Amino acid sequence: MKASNYADQPDQKIHWRVFQIIWPYLLEYKTRIFWAVVCLVLSKVASVSGPFLLKHIVDAFSADAPVNVLVIPVALIIAYGFARFSMILMGEIRDTVFGRVTERAMRKIGLEVFRHLHYLDLEFHSERRTGGLSRDIDRGIQGISFLMRFFVFNIVPTLLEIAVVVALLFYNYGLSFACITLIAVLLYIVCSMLITDWRTDFVRQSARADSRASTICVESLLNYETVKYFTNEQYEEERYDEALKKWESAKRKERLSLLGLNTVQALIISVAMTLTMWLAALGVADNTMTIGDFVLINAFMMQLFLPLNFLGFVYREIRGSTANIENMFALLDVTSHINEVTNAPDLKISQGAVSFQSVSFGYGPDRPILKALDFTIQAGKQVAIVGASGAGKSTLVKLLFRFYDPNNGKILIDGQDVRNISLKSLRQAIGVVPQDTVLFNDSIFENIRYGNPQATDNEVMQAIKLAHLSDFIADLPDGVATLVGERGLKLSGGEKQRVTIARTILKQPPILVFDEATSSLDSQSERSIMAALNEISKDHTSVIIAHRLSTVVDADKILVLHQGTVVESGSHLELLGVNGRYARLWAAQLRDRSPA
């Protein structure tokens, strides 16, 4: 695991709760767990029997009676080799068998969190950084993997083995051996944990210094040109070295504290070893023990303390892992504000009339955006909504799509309150070409097909034609297979908008909403696209939100939105007749344009 992963680990304790959470996910593979435990036991039996075989080999040599070298020791040596091999093999099989259980749990939990995140409302997602979310999931999933590997199959079995060995020592050699071993192990564990707790801070500091240094390095190189423009190379070097200096000193503390940890561990082991071997030597001297016993005790001590070597590291990692898992599961506890009523029926669209009835809404309590908004869009008609930037036009679309619910009033589609129908049927009925288009980093073709994954190639090509993309695509060396880049960055704003329009055409929803869908186009393309939009929205209820009034003159009805309410409504000519806000906007836009 890379050091930078520690950088923002907040926690100091093991969250035992996560074992409770994970447990049900593991139970899916009961037989696998059973076999993994069998392998575990076998491997421990093999591991414990090793020193006993060693004892018999040594005793065979030191027996007074002449030994048949070729019979007894050879058989024992082979048995010893076999025990070592079985111990390792059983351990490997155990990991392989259990790997499936861990991976299935990781998959199920990963999918569950992913599904939950999609279920959560837009409000949640507007407030969380997506990068942070995916890191939370990633770390949680890796935490589960680590926990399984090290806790289930390292710490717990080692503790079991210690218990068995202590019992065997007690049974075969008496209390003092058992006591020394037990006390040494306990002391070792407690000291490792305490020292690890103490030095976690240093580890974290050095990880933080490390990531700060690399941030400075990356940022400086990204701004290569700026650095040159101002010949600030030296300044940059000093800044970088400053960060490296902090890293160096943090690293020093980390290193020294590790020295402390390792020294204490080594001291405990050595004292315990010396004591037990001294006792064994006394036993050999007064003939109550054989040389084989002496070797056995030595072998046990080595075997016991070896896996404990990693205890500090494993302990710290387990703490981090449980915190990360807890973090990930905390996401599952977040609930959505946008919920379906139980057994919500599907939306039944007969014509697609939309009506807002005294709808009020604000993103926060202290700033109302829409105030008692009232309007109706008759089925099959085209309505345009105009108004200054920030008037709440896009907000209105979000309410219709039920990304948010109004604070007051209701929104009806063909007489059905959007809150009482299933979200899926509602959202299937509405096609939105949003103001800010984001694309998947895939080909143009696949991005368009996203509107309806079942569409045939022909239907996609048809949509491309309707959205006036054919000429643009013909110019591309790779045609429809051209990749659009991260979030669609390789396309111009207008090209992106047309891709989204094609995608929405493919969805064929009864209600269409174009939220400034042509704002990034020049007047020429805008006119031709508007012609296409009018074509596809024929017989559909459609809402066109536009900035340039020239694009909405043909709408059946125009709503002028100002400070959260509809201040004027009517056809283009009617509104000019009223000679109010709309007429003034129209005059202003005409004036801007006329010199050309």
Ligand X SMILES: Nc1ncnc2c1ncn2[C@@H]1O[C@H](COP(=O)(O)OP(=O)(O)O)[C@@H](O)[C@H]1O
Site residues (vs ligand X, CB under 6 A): 126, 363, 369, 387, 389-395
Residues 404-443 that bind Mg ion (CB under 5 A): 435
Query: 369 vs 461, which CB is nearer to ligand X?
Result: 369
CB closer to ligand X, 31 vs 126: 126
Q: Return the closest-CA partner of residue 429 out of 540, 539, 530, 566.
A: 540
Nearest to 98 by CA among 36, 42, 38: 36
Provide CB contacts within 8 A for 271, sequence distance 6+. Answer: 184
Residue number, 15 or 393, with CB nearest to ligand X: 393
Question: Element (H or E) spanning 257, and its range?
Answer: helix 233-285
**CB nearer to ligand X: pick between 91 and 392:** 392
Question: Which secondary structure element, helix H or strand E, spans residue 471, and what is its range?
Answer: helix 470-475
Q: Could you tell me the smallest distance in angstroms from the CB atom of residue 200 to Mg ion?
A: 48
Mention every residue, 6+ apart, whose C-beta is less than 8 A from residue 394: 434, 435, 515, 545
Integer distance in angstroms from the first to the last C-alpha of the chain? 63
Distance in angstroms (rounded) separating the CA atoms of residues 568 and 557: 10
Helix axes 156-173, 175-222, angle to 10 degrees: 160
Q: Three-state SS for 544? A: strand
Residue 363 interface partner, choices ligand X, Mg ion, none, CB cut-off 5-8 Å depending on type: ligand X
Residue number, 207 or 369, with CB nearest to ligand X: 369
Q: Nearest approach, Cβ of 427 to ligand X (angstroms)? A: 19
Neighbour count for residue 440 (Cβ, 10 Å):
13
Contacts (Cβ under 8 Å, ≥6 apart) of 132 = none
How far apart CA 564 and CA 393 sit, in angstroms, is: 9
3-class DSSP state of 564:
coil
Closest approach of ligand X to the CB of residue 121, in Å: 11
DSSP 49-103: HHHHHHHHHHHHHH-SSPP-TTTHHHHHHHHHHHHHHHHHHHHHHHHHHHHHHHH
Closest to Mg ion by CB, 369 vs 473, is 369
Minimum distance, C-beta of residue 547 to ligand X, in the bound complex (Å):
9
* Residue 340 β-bridge partners: none
Dist CA 93 CA 80 (whole Å): 20
Find out whether 437 and 521 touch, Cβ atoms under 8 Å: no
520 binds Mg ion (CB under 5 A): no
The residue (of 104 and 547) whose beta carbon lies closer to ligand X is 547
Contacted entry of Mg ion, ligand X, none for residue 395, CB cut-off 5 to 8 Å set by kind: ligand X
Q: Which residue is nearest to Mg ion (CB)?
A: 394
Among Mg ion, ligand X, none, partner that 126 touches (CB below 5 to 8 angstroms by kind): ligand X
| Cβ proximity to ligand X, 196 vs 394, nearer residue | 394
Q: Could you tell me whether strands 382-387 and 354-361 are parallel, antiparallel, or unpaired per DSSP bridges?
A: unpaired
Of Mg ion, ligand X, none, which one sits near residue 81, judging by CB under 5 to 8 A according to partner kind? none
The least CB distance from residue 552 to Mg ion, in Å, is 15
Q: C-beta of 26: minimal distance to Mg ion in Å?
A: 48
Q: Which does 479 bind (CB under 5 to 8 A by kind): Mg ion, ligand X, none?
A: none
At closest approach, how far in Å is the CB of 395 from ligand X?
3
**Separation CA 108–CA 101 (nearest Å):** 11
Q: Which does 416 bind (CB under 5 to 8 A by kind): Mg ion, ligand X, none?
A: none
402 binds, among ligand X, Mg ion, none (CB under 5 to 8 A by kind): none
Name the minimum Å distance from CB 417 to Mg ion.
25
Nearer to ligand X, 452 or 519 (CB): 519
- Residue 544 φ/ψ, nearest 5 degrees: -115, 120
Angle (deg, nearest 10), helices 156-173 and 30-62: 40
390 binds, among Mg ion, ligand X, none (CB under 5 to 8 A by kind): ligand X
Binding-site size, Mg ion (CB under 5 A): 3
Q: Which is nearer to ligand X, 380 or 409 (CB)?
A: 409
> Of the two residues 87 and 369, which places its CB atom closer to Mg ion in the complex?
369
Q: What is the dihedral of CA 7, 11, 12, 13, to 10 degrees?
A: -140
- Residue 392 touches which of Mg ion, ligand X, none (CB < 5 to 8 A by kind)? ligand X
Residue 519 is a binding residue for Mg ion (CB under 5 A): no
Establish if 394 lies at the interface with Mg ion (CB under 5 A): yes
Q: Which does 5 bind (CB under 5 to 8 A by kind): Mg ion, ligand X, none?
A: none
Only segment of 71-79, 146-154, 321-329, 387-395 that touches Mg ion (CB under 5 A) = 387-395
Give CA separation, 44 vs 89, 156, 449, 486, in Å.
11, 12, 56, 52
Q: How far is the CB of 443 from ligand X (least distance, A)?
A: 30
In whole angstroms, how close is the CB of 136 to ligand X at the nearest point? 21
CA distance linking residue 526 with residue 546, whole number of Å? 11
Smallest separation, CB 395 to Mg ion (Å): 8
Distance of closest approach, residue 409 Cβ to Mg ion, in angstroms: 21
Q: Which does 324 bind (CB under 5 to 8 A by kind): ligand X, Mg ion, none?
A: none
Closest by CA to 314, choosing from 109, 451, 480, 159, is 159
Amino acid at site 380: G
**Whole-angstrom distance, CA of residue 45 vs CA of residue 83:** 9
Task: Report the partner that residue 391 touches, choosing among ligand X, Mg ion, none (CB closer than 5 to 8 A by kind).
Answer: ligand X
Select from 240-248, 330-338, 390-398, 503-511 the region that touches Mg ion (CB under 5 A).
390-398
* Shorter beta-carbon distance to ligand X: residue 320 or 387: 387
Q: Is the CB of residue 134 less than 8 Å from the CB of residue 72?
A: no
- Shortest approach of ligand X to residue 564 CB, angstroms? 9
Residues pairing with 512 in the sheet: 431, 542
Phi, psi (deg, nearest 5) at residue 527: -60, -45
556 three-state secondary structure: coil
Is 489 within 8 Å of 520 (Cβ atoms)?
Answer: no
Q: Which is nearer to ligand X, 20 or 389 (CB)?
A: 389
Rank residues 166 and 561 by Cβ distance to Mg ion and give the closer one: 561
Which of these ranges, 60-68, 109-117, 389-397, 500-508, lies near Mg ion under the rule CB under 5 A? Answer: 389-397
Closest separation in Å from C-beta 43 to ligand X: 56
| Contact set with Mg ion (CB under 5 A) | 393-394, 435
